[in-house]
Structure 1
Amino acid sequence: MQTSFSWRATKPLRDLGGLYHKYIKKCSRMDLLPIHELELMTRNNKVVWVSRGGDPQFLLTPINPAVLRQGGWFSLEYDFSATQAVDQCLYIDYGDGFQADIVWARHVEKSGHQSLVIYLPMGTQALRLDPMTRPGEFRLEDPVLKKIETPQIPHPWSGLDGYLKCCEGCEFTLAAAQQLERRLEGEFHWRSHGTDPAFVVRHRRGRVIEPGWCRIEFVLSGEYQQQVAKLYIDHGEGFSETHAYPIPFQSGKLATRVIQLERSIVNIRFDPWEREGSFRLERLCIDNVDAEEAWDAIAGRLVETAPEYTNLKKAEVLAGVGRSAPETDEGDGTAKKAELADAEDEAARETRLLEEYAETFIVNEAELSYQKWIDEVEVNGLPSSETIRGYLEGLESPAIISVLVPVYNTDETLLKACIDSVIAQSYPHWELCLVDDASPSPHVEKVLRHYASKDKRVKIHFRPDNGHISKTTNDALSMATGDYLALLDHDDELTKDALYFIAKELEKNPDAQLIYSDEDKIDVQGMRCEPHFKPDWNIDLLYSQNYVSHLGVYRRSLIEKIGGFRVGVEGSQDYDLVLRCIPHLTAGSISHVPRVLYHWRAIEGSTALAEEGKDYTTSAGVKALKDHIEGIADGRAIVEQGIVGNTYRVRWPIPEPAPLVSMLIPTRDKKDVTELAVRSILEKSRYTDYEIILLDNGSVEPETHEFFEKIQAEDSRVSVLRYDHPFNYSAINNFGAEHAKGSIIGLVNNDVEVINGDWLGEMVSHACREDVGCVGAKLYYGNDTIQHAGVIVGLGGVAGHSHKHFPRASGGYFNRLKVVQSVSAVTAACLLVRKSVYEEVGGLNEQDLKVAFNDVDFCLKVLDAGYRNIWTPYAELYHHESISRGAEDNPEKVARFNTEIDYMQKAWGKIIEHDPSYSPCLTRSREDFSIGGR
Structure 2
Amino acid sequence: MMMKYNHAPVTRLFTEHFMLGNKHMVRSSLLTKAIWITYHQGPGELIKRTWRYLRKHRLRGVWVYRSRAHNYNLWLRMEAERIESLLVAASEDIARFPYKPTISIIMPVRNTDLTCLKRSISSVRNQAYPYWELCIANDGSDKRGIREVLESFQAKDKRIKVVNLPQCTGIVGATNAALSMTTGEFVGFLDHDDELAPHALLQVVRWLNKQPELDVLYSDEDRIIGERRCEPFFKPDWSPDLLLSMNYTGHFLVIRRELIQELGGLRPEAEGSQDYDLVLRITEKTNRIAHIPEILYHWRITPGSVTNRPESRARAFEAAQKALTSALERRGLQGQVMQIGEGRYRIKYKVQCTPRISIIIPTRDKVHLLQRCVGTIHERSSYKNYELIIVDNQSKDPATMDYLTFVQQRGICKVVPFTEPFNYAKINNFAVEQAEGEYLVFLNNDTEVISPDWLEELLSYAQQKRIGAVGAKLLFPDNTIQHGGVIVGLGGVAGHAFYGLPATDPGYMDLATVARNCSAVTAACLMMRRSV
Q: Provide TM-score, normalisation by structure 1.
A: 0.49
Counterpart of 1:649? 346
443, 458, 469: which one pairs with 1:774? 469
CA separation of 1:605 and 1:829: change in aligned 2, threshold 3 A: farther
What's the offset of the Cα at 1:825?
0.8
Counterpart of 1:326? none
CA separation of 1:611 and 1:676: change in aligned 2, threshold 3 A: farther
Q: What's the Cα RMSD here?
A: 2.4
What's the offset of the Cα at 1:609?
6.7
Which has the higher Rg, Structure 1 or Structure 2? 1
**How far apart are the structure 2 equivalents of 1:676 and 1:378?**
56
**How far apart are the structure 1 equivalents of 2:252 and 2:67?**
26
Q: Residue type of the partner of 1:373?
A: W
Counterpart of 2:172? 470
Q: Residue type of the partner of 2:263?
A: I
**How far apart are the structure 2 equivalents of 1:580 and 1:539?**
12
Say whether the 8 Å CA contact 1:606–1:613 is kept in structure 2. no
Q: Residue type of the partner of 1:419?
A: I
What's the offset of the Cα at 1:608?
5.6
**How far apart are the structure 2 equivalents of 1:604 and 1:671?**
61
1:671 aligns with 2:367: yes
What's the offset of the Cα at 1:808?
0.4
What's the offset of the Cα at 1:605?
6.3
Q: Residue type of the partner of 2:175?
A: T
1:683 aligns with 2:379: yes
**How far apart are the structure 1 equivalents of 2:75 and 2:480?**
28
SS where residue 420 of structure 2 aligns?
A: coil
1:700 aligns with 2:402: no
**How far apart are the structure 2 equivalents of 1:435 and 1:692?**
63
SS where residue 747 of structure 1 aligns?
A: strand
**How far apart are the structure 2 equivalents of 1:695 and 1:393?**
63
CA separation of 1:604 and 1:669: change in aligned 2, threshold 3 A: farther
**How far apart are the structure 1 equivalents of 2:486 and 2:458?**
17
Q: Residue type of the partner of 1:614?
A: R
545, 563, 574: which one pairs with 2:264? 563
**How far apart are the structure 2 equivalents of 1:607 and 1:680?**
47
634, 638, 660: which one pairs with 2:335? 638
Q: Residue type of the partner of 1:578?
A: V
1:501 aligns with 2:203: yes
**How far apart are the structure 2 equivalents of 1:612 and 1:679?**
49
Counterpart of 1:546? 247
510, 515, 528: which one pairs with 2:229? 528
1:786 aligns with 2:488: no
What's the offset of the Cα at 1:384?
4.2
What's the offset of the Cα at 1:610?
9.7
593, 602, 609: which one pairs with 2:301? 602
**How far apart are the structure 2 equivalents of 1:491 and 1:788?**
40
Counterpart of 1:730? 425
What's the offset of the Cα at 1:495?
0.4
**How far apart are the structure 1 equivalents of 2:173 and 2:254?**
19
Q: Residue type of the partner of 2:517?
A: S
SS where residue 417 of structure 1 aligns?
A: helix
Please give the residue correspondences for 1:71-220 in structure 2 after superposition, counting only pairs within 5 Å: none
Say whether the 8 Å CA contact 2:307–2:313 is kept in structure 1. no
Alpha-carbon deviations, 1:113-165, whole Å to 9, x = none?
A: xxxxxxxxxxxxxxxxxxxxxxxxxxxxxxxxxxxxxxxxxxxxxxxxxxxxx
Counterpart of 1:398? 100
1:622 aligns with 2:321: yes
1:573 aligns with 2:274: yes
What's the offset of the Cα at 1:650?
2.3
What's the offset of the Cα at 1:397?
6.6
CA separation of 1:538 and 1:396: change in aligned 2, threshold 3 A: closer
Counterpart of 2:355? 659
Structure 2 unaligned blocks of 5 or more: 1-55
What's the offset of the Cα at 1:606?
4.0
**How far apart are the structure 2 equivalents of 1:781 and 1:612?**
39
- Count how many residue pairs are aligned between Structure 1 and Structure 2: 476
Alpha-carbon deviations, 1:551-602, whole Å to 9, x = none?
A: 001111111111011111122111111111123213xx22221111001112
SS where residue 774 of structure 1 aligns?
A: coil
CA separation of 1:641 and 1:411: change in aligned 2, threshold 3 A: farther
Q: Residue type of the partner of 1:686?
A: S
CA separation of 1:194 and 1:669: change in aligned 2, threshold 3 A: closer
Counterpart of 1:485? 187
**How far apart are the structure 2 equivalents of 1:480 and 1:760?**
50
Say whether the 8 Å CA contact 1:671–1:703 is kept in structure 2. yes
Say whether the 8 Å CA contact 2:99–2:209 is kept in structure 1. no
What's the offset of the Cα at 1:796?
2.1
Structure 1 unaligned blocks of 5 or more: 1-192, 198-273, 276-361, 838-934
Say whether the 8 Å CA contact 2:273–2:317 is kept in structure 1. yes
Q: Residue type of the partner of 1:774?
A: A
Please give the residue correspondences for 1:267-666 in structure 2 after superposition, counting only pairs within 5 Å: 365-377=67-79, 379-380=81-82, 382-394=84-96, 398-524=100-226, 526-586=227-287, 589-604=288-303, 606=305, 614-633=313-332, 636-656=333-353, 658-666=354-362
CA separation of 1:370 and 1:726: change in aligned 2, threshold 3 A: same
**How far apart are the structure 2 equivalents of 1:613 and 1:697?**
59
Q: Residue type of the partner of 1:649?
A: R
What's the offset of the Cα at 1:468?
1.0
CA separation of 1:667 and 1:382: change in aligned 2, threshold 3 A: farther
What's the offset of the Cα at 1:766?
1.1
**How far apart are the structure 1 equivalents of 2:192 and 2:406?**
68
Please give the residue correspondences for 1:904-919 in structure 2 after superposition, counting only pairs within 5 Å: none
Q: Residue type of the partner of 2:201?
A: L
Alpha-carbon deviations, 1:652-699, whole Å to 9, x = none?
A: 33222x111111111112111111211222222222221111112222
Q: Residue type of the partner of 2:131?
A: H
Counterpart of 1:297? none
1:799 aligns with 2:483: no
Please give the residue correspondences for 1:184-263 in structure 2 after superposition, counting only pairs within 5 Å: none
SS where residue 631 of structure 1 aligns?
A: helix
Q: Residue type of the partner of 1:646?
A: G
Say whether the 8 Å CA contact 1:484–1:555 is kept in structure 2. yes
Say whether the 8 Å CA contact 1:690–1:717 is kept in structure 2. no
Q: Residue type of the partner of 2:261?
A: E
Alpha-carbon deviations, 1:788-846, whole Å to 9, x = none?
A: 11111112222111111111011112111111111121101001111121xxxxxxxxx
**How far apart are the structure 1 equivalents of 2:179 and 2:118?**
21
CA separation of 1:523 and 1:680: change in aligned 2, threshold 3 A: farther
SS where residue 245 of structure 2 aligns?
A: coil
**How far apart are the structure 2 equivalents of 1:395 and 1:804?**
42
Q: Residue type of the partner of 1:443?
A: G
SS where residue 528 of structure 2 aligns?
A: strand
Percent of paired sites with the same residue: 41
What's the offset of the Cα at 1:717?
4.6
What's the offset of the Cα at 1:631?
1.7
As a proportion of its length, which structure holds more strand?
1
Greater relative CO, 1 or 2 (CA 8 Å, sep 6+): 2
What's the offset of the Cα at 1:497?
0.9
Counterpart of 2:26? none
Q: Residue type of the partner of 1:388?
A: A
Q: Residue type of the partner of 2:380?
A: K
**How far apart are the structure 2 equivalents of 1:395 and 1:375?**
29
CA separation of 1:194 and 1:789: change in aligned 2, threshold 3 A: closer
Say whether the 8 Å CA contact 1:622–1:639 is kept in structure 2. no
As a proportion of its length, which structure holds more helix?
2
**How far apart are the structure 1 equivalents of 2:200 and 2:109?**
21
Q: Residue type of the partner of 1:809?
A: T
CA separation of 1:823 and 1:605: change in aligned 2, threshold 3 A: farther
Alpha-carbon deviations, 1:37-90, whole Å to 9, x = none?
A: xxxxxxxxxxxxxxxxxxxxxxxxxxxxxxxxxxxxxxxxxxxxxxxxxxxxxx
**How far apart are the structure 2 equivalents of 1:688 and 1:733?**
22
CA separation of 1:576 and 1:691: change in aligned 2, threshold 3 A: same
Q: Residue type of the partner of 1:602?
A: I
Q: Provide TM-score, normalisation by structure 2.
A: 0.84
SS where residue 495 of structure 2 aligns?
A: strand
CA separation of 1:372 and 1:611: change in aligned 2, threshold 3 A: farther
Alpha-carbon deviations, 1:367-388, whole Å to 9, x = none?
A: 1111212212453255444411
